[in-house]
């Protein structure tokens, strides 16, 4: 059943790629990177990720191109020269609440005590569009730097905490412990907590505060051992 689902997704994806090519849409942008298969095999080559189809393509030195789904891949990454940073993607079991969990690709956008990940908004996906509509969601600068294109989650021990439910899922159980310094930060920098950007900034600040506390505790422990 899983194999049939994968084959169906690949066929539809390649079909829409062909339509995009005939329509004159920009080609996929390739990046030198590496990919870890579900079997833990490490493969290097040029990578292109399509957010809509949730498929990653790898073009190897021999010119061979493979199209892979989240069920076949554990993680992949490349260095993005436009953003001057390493872009990392992972496959995680995810359920939208409408069925059983299945592997889905997420980009890691923030690391730390509270990891933040993202995927394309569901209403922008391949199968929300009319059949035959060209794929226009290969990763590029105009797409990946617009936060409105994505849905964001804080990820903690297998739980997906929606940034859209910020106060219930994230602020109360996590950030509230640092409420005073966070609110001082909000006022000092005029952060709008109602926006996705504002919420991501607060999570980043929370991670920094937690890391500072951990470093201070470690330093105190080391000093005590010396004494």
So where are the chain's domains? 2-163, 174-227
- Please give the average per-residue pLDDT across 141-152, as a whole number: 90
Helix (H) or strand (E) holding 144: helix 141-144
Q: Where is average pLDDT lowest: 2-11, 103-112, 187-196?
A: 2-11
pLDDT score for 72: 98
pLDDT at 40 over 60: yes
Q: Where is average pLDDT lowest: 89-93, 97-101, 168-172?
A: 97-101
> Model confidence at 61, in pLDDT bands (50, 70, 90)?
confident
What is the share, in percent, of the chain residues with pLDDT greater than 70? 78
Show the tokens assigned to 140: 């590029």
> Higher pLDDT residue, 221 or 139?
139
Neighbours of 184 (CB within 10 A): 10
What distance in Å separates the CA atoms of residue 2 and residue 129, rounded to the nearest whole number? 23
pLDDT score for 2: 52
> Higher pLDDT residue, 163 or 29?
163
pLDDT score for 140: 84
- Please give the average per-residue pLDDT across 126-139, as a whole number: 54
> Model confidence at 103, in pLDDT bands (50, 70, 90)?
very high
- Please give the average per-residue pLDDT across 59-69, as a whole number: 91
pTM of the model: 0.81
pLDDT score for 10: 45
Helix (H) or strand (E) holding 184: helix 179-189
Q: Where is average pLDDT lowest: 67-76, 133-142, 152-161?
A: 133-142
Comparing CA positions, the residue from 67, 63, 64 lying closest to residue 17 is 67
pLDDT at 204 over 60: yes
């Amino acid at each position: 059943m899983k194999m049939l689902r994968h084959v169906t997704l690949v066929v539809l994806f390649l079909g829409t790629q062909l339509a995009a090519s005939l329509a004159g849409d920009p080609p996929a942008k390739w990046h030198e990177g590496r990919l870890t298969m579900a079997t833990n095999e490490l493969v290097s080559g040029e990578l292109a990720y399509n957010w809509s189809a949730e498929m990653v393509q790898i073009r190897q030195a021999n010119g061979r191109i493979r199209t892979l789904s989240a069920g076949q891949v554990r993680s992949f990454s490349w260095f993005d020269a436009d953003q001057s940073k390493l872009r990392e993607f992972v496959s995680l079991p995810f359920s939208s609440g409408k069925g059983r969990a299945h592997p889905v690709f997420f980009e890691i956008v923030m690391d730390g005590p509270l990891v933040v990940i993202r995927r394309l908004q569901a209403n922008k996906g391949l199968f929300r569009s009319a059949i035959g509509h060209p794929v226009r969601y290969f990763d590029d600068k105009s797409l990946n730097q617009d936060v409105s294109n994505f849905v964001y989650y804080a990820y903690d021990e297998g739980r997906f905490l929606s940034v859209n439910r910020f106060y219930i899922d994230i602020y109360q159980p996590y950030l509230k412990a640092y409420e005073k310094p966070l609110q001082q930060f909000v006022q000092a920098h005029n952060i709008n907590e109602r926006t996705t950007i504002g919420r991501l900034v607060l999570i980043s600040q929370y991670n920094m505060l937690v890391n500072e506390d951990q470093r201070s505790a470690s330093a105190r422990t080391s000093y005590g051992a010396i004494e």
